[in-house]
Each structure stands twice: as C-alpha cells, then as structure tokens.
Amino acid sequence: MSIESGTLYVVATPLGNLGDLSQRAVETLASVDLIAAEDTRHSAKLLSAMGIGRPLIALHEHNETSISARILERLGAGESIALISDAGTPLISDPGYPLVSAARRQGCKIVPIPGPSAIICALSAAGLPTDRFLFEGFPPRTAPARRRRFEQLAEFPATLVFYESSHRLAESLADMAATFGTERRAVLARELTKLHETFLDAPLAGLLERVQQDPNQQRGEMVILVAGAPERNPAADESPIAIDRLLALLLRDLSVKRAAEIVAEATGRRRNEIYRRALEIKDHGASRATPQG
C-alpha cells in the first residue's frame, strides 16, 4: 500500500487474537516512519510477531501533551506516523485524543485503519439491543461517585456499555443491581477473542452471584452490558392510585422488595421509587392495625 507523508494513521490492533490484525494494518505499521504506542514493551511483542521492525515512541496518559507536540512537529516535517494502543481501537478509553485533536486543528491528514474494538465485539454477541447504546467507559472508582453516575443512567432507555477493572467488578455489579434493579438483564463479556473468552448473561443479581462464586470470572479484561430501562407506561404514570392499589394487593402475600420489583417491571417506574412507596403503604397499614391505648 502507499503511505502518504505527513499523515497520522490511527490503527486498531487485536484485543488478544493476533489473527484479527488486518492486512491493511500490517502493511501500514510496516511502512510508516514511526509508531506511537501506549506501551512500547507490549507493542514491541506484537510487532515482532508480525515481523515488523519500525521505530517506537511511547504515548500514554502521563506524557500525552509533550509527546503529542513532538509528533506534530514530525508530521509537519512530512513523516508518516501510526498511533496504536495496547489493544483495540485507539482513543476509545485509551490515549490519543489530544494528539488526534491537535493534528486535526493543525490540518494534518488523519487516516483510520479500522479493526477490533471491545465495545463493538461485546455488543455483537451479547444479545442486547444494538440499535442504540451508550458507551460509558470505566465507571467512577469510588463507590459514592459510581452510584451517583448509575442513578443518572437508571432511566436511560438504550443498552449501557461499561469497561471495568477486575478488582472492582463485583462492587460495580452490586451497585448496578441496587440502582438499576436486581432483575435488569446484563451481560459480562470477558477476555474477548482470547483463550478464556466468556459471556455470562443473567439478571444483575444473578450475574453478581455468579461472579462472586467463581473467582475466575473476576480475572482479565471485561465489558459489562446492561439492558436499557423499560419504557414507562403513560397510563401508569398518570394513575398513582392504581399503583398504590396494586402494591397493597401484592403486599398481602409478598415482601416489600418483591412487590416493588413486580410493580416496577409492570409499570416501567423506577424500582427505588416503587420500593419507597411500598414501604409507606406497608407502614401505613401496620399503623392502622395497631390498637390505640
């Protein structure tokens, strides 16, 4: 293929399976003057396996500003440069945005070399709706911030896609179950394209339980996909009395938690909202049944 001078190539690399590296990507990486890589040690192994021996420069979250400036100078001097990350498509929860943004402002030609992406890979096989989805990247690291963010997403109607680190997986799933509802369908896509690739499909409560019971499911690289919030029932929204009557009937035989789950699913209302109302009805009924002294 013909490499153009003064061009930045944004090249997708394999998530794990080397067979996913396209012929176009191989030819590009073998022909450019310089390769900017997130981790040069990691990328050197990939390039060696492909028989590619091109100069490398490290570009990661700690040096993006200074290294981007140097790369822009070299692009301006007519060099061709490829940008890669450790795995998948650069810039998608990986370094590279400052460089690409600055290169665009500078008027450099930018050519994408498409290929693997963990988001698309997971969506394609999860069995959740893909006509609309929201990619959230990594959830906040601290529990309070994470729960606040999940609360903001609780009523989003499209599939939610998250990355998560192995050591925070169980905590995130627990917060999702508490916020989105224990019965909200979710899929854990782990170690995509690798030897131990796994898809676990279950309601959030069941998914959390499986992860807690099997430590192997807490290892490796993972994507969490959560079904979008069910559509609200306009008639139910306009009829709080009907919801109260339904809750009151269910509370005769069911726990507050179970009654709230059923009504929330039937009406499209938020589970936490229905749960609070169920508690009020339960407490009100108990107070009425208590003899006055």
What CATH number does the domain containing 110 carry?
3.40.1010.10
Contacts of 277 (CB under 8 A, 6+ apart): 243, 244, 247, 260
Average pLDDT for 109-127:
97
Query: 109 forms bridges with which residues in the sheet?
Result: 7
> Where do the H-state alpha helices sit in 32-168?
40-49, 64-76, 97-106, 118-126, 143-153
Q: Which domain holds residue 217?
A: 119-226
- Let me know if residue 123 belongs to a domain: yes
For the domain that residue 134 is a member of, what is the CATH number?
3.30.950.10
Residue 19 covered by a domain? yes
Instruction: Return the minimum-mean-pLDDT range out of 96-105, 127-136, 159-168, 279-288.
Output: 279-288
Residues in the chain: 293
Residue 169 main-chain phi, psi, to 5 deg: -60, -50
CA distance 255 to 259: 6
Residue 2 lies in a domain: no
Do 16 and 87 fall into the same domain?
Answer: yes
Looking at the fold, whether 102 and 125 belong to one and the same domain comes out as no
How much is the pLDDT for 268?
Answer: 75
80 plus 152 within the same structural domain? no
Q: Is the domain of 59 the same as that of 87?
A: yes
Do 178 and 102 lie in one domain? The reply is no
Cα 241–204–149 angle (5° rounding)?
75
Domain end (from 116, 139, 162): 116
130 and 210 within one domain: yes
Token couple for 186: 């979710």
Considering the domain boundaries, does residue 1 fall inside one? no
In terms of Cβ atoms closer than 10 Å to its own Cβ (0-12, 13-18, 19+), residue 244 is middle
Nearest Cα neighbor of 90 from 159, 158, 43 is 43
Question: Coil, strand, or helix at residue 91?
Answer: coil
136 & 91 share domain: no
**Of 84, 116, 148, which closes a domain?**
116
For residue 293, what pLDDT is reported?
Answer: 45
Q: Which of 39-53, 234-248, 275-289 has the lowest mean pLDDT?
A: 234-248
Which residue has tokens 């301006």?
76
Last residue of a domain, one of 116, 144, 161: 116
Together in a domain, 142 and 55:
no
Per-residue confidence at 167, pLDDT binned at 50, 70, 90? very high
Q: Are residues 140 and 110 in the same domain?
A: no
Q: What digits encode the pLDDT tens for the residues 222-265?
A: 999 999 998 765 554 546 668 888 899 999 989 999 998 898 88
Whether 23 and 86 map to the same domain: the answer is: yes
Structural domains of the chain, count: 3
Tokens 């709230």, residue located:
260
Please list the residues that pair with 141 across neighbouring strands. none
- Give yes or no: residues 205 and 106 share one domain: no
Element (H, E) at 270: none
Q: 185-190 and 198-203: which strand pairing? A: antiparallel
Does 210 lie in the same domain as 190? yes
- The answer as to whether 48 is a domain residue is yes
207 within a domain of the structure (yes/no) = yes
Of 1, 133, 22, the residue nearest 84 (C-alpha): 22
CA dihedral 81, 63, 191, 29 (to 10 degrees): 10
Q: How confident is the model at residue 84 (pLDDT cuts 50, 70, 90)?
A: very high
Q: What percent of the chain has pLDDT over 90?
A: 79
Distances in Å between the alpha carbon of 199 and those of 38, 58, 142, 186?
27, 33, 26, 10
Side by side, the strands of the sheet bearing 222-226 are: 133-137, 159-164, 222-226, 185-190, 198-203
Helix (H, G, I), strand (E, B) or coil at 243: helix
